[in-house]
Structure 1
Amino acid sequence: MGDTLLNTGAYVARPAAIPTFMVSALLLGVGTFTLVREHRSRESRAFALFTVVAAWWMFAISWMYLAADASTALAWARLAILGIPFLAPATYHFAVRVLDLEERRSAMVWAAWLYFAACASALVGSSLFLSGVRDWAWGPYPVLGRWSLLFTVPFVALLLLTLVELWWAWRRSPPGTARHRARAFLLAFLVGDLALIDFLPAYGLPVHPAGWEAVAGFALIAAWAIWRHRLTDFSPALAAEQLVRATSELVALCDHEGLVRFANPALCLLVGASPEELAGRPISELAASEVSKLTLGNALERDRITNEEAELVGRDGQTVPVSLSACGLRDPNGFRVGTALLARDIRYQRQMQAELARRAFYDEVTGLANRALLLDRIRLAGSRVQRSGERFGVLCLDLDDFHQVNEAFGREAGDELLANVGSRLQRVVRGDDTVARIDDDRFGVLTERVAGAGEARDVALRILAELEPPLTLRDRAVFPSGSVGIAVSRPDYDDPAELLRDAQAAASRAKGQTRERITIFGPGIREHAVSALEMAGDLRRALAEGEFELFFQPIARVADLGVVAVEALLRWRHPRRGLLAPAAFLNVAREARILPQIGWWVLEEALGRLAAWRERHPTSAQLHVHVNLSVEELTHPELLRRIEGILARTGVEPRSLVLEITERTLLHRSEDAIGIVDALRSRGIRLCVDDFGTGYSSLAYLGQYPLDVLKIDATFVRAATWGADGATILETVLELSRNLGMVSVAEGVDTAAQLEHLRRSGCALVQGYLLAEPMPASEVESRLAAGASLVTSPIARLRD
Structure 2
Amino acid sequence: MLPVLGMVVAQGMLPGTDAGTALYFAVVAVAVAGAWAGAHASRRGAAPYCLAVGVTLSGLGDALWQAQVLLAGTAADVSAVDVLYLGSYAAVGTGVWLMAGARERSHRQRVSGAIDALCVTVAALLVVWELSIAATVSDRSLPLVAQAVLVTYPVADAVLLGLVCRLVTSRRRGEWAGPAVAAACACWLVSDVAFLVQDRVEGFGSWLDSGWLLGSLLLAAATSRRLATPARPARDDVVTASGLGRLAICLGALMVPPVVELVTDATGHGNSVSTVFASTLVLTLLVFLRASLLLKGEAAARARLRSQERYATKLAAWSADAVMVVDRDHRLLSDPAPLAGLLGTTPAELGSSQDVVRTAGIDPDVAVDVFAQGVAAGGQVVDVEVPARRMGEDRWYGVRLVDLSDDPDIGGVVVHLTDVTSRRRADRALAHVTLHDGLTGLANRTLFTDRVGQALLRTVRGGGSAAVVTIDLDGFKAVNDTLGHDAGDALLFEVAGRLSAAVRADDTVARLGGDEFAVLVEQAGDGDDAALTTATRVLEVLARPVELEGRPVTVTAAVGIAVGRGDVTSGSLIADADLALQAARTGGRNRVEVYDPGMRAAVQAARELEHELRGALAAGEFRLVYQPVVTLADRRVTGFEALLRWTSPRLGPVGPDRFVPAAEAAGLIDEIGAWVLREACTTAAAWRRDHPGAADMTMAVNVSAAQLASPDLVGSIAAALAESGLPAGALVVEVTETALVGDPEHAAACLAALRALGLRLALDDFGTGYSSLAHLQQFTVDVLKIDRSFVSTMAEGEPMPAIVRGTIDLGRTLGLEVLAEGVEHEHQARLLAEGNCDSAQGYLFARPLERTDAEAVLLEQVARDAAAAVPVPRAPRVLTRPV
Same-fold status (TM-score > 0.5): no
TM-score by length of 2: 0.33
- Under a length normalisation based on structure 1, what TM-score does the superposition of the two structures give? 0.36
The structure number with the bigger radius of gyration is 2
| The structure with more strand, counted as a fraction of residues | 1
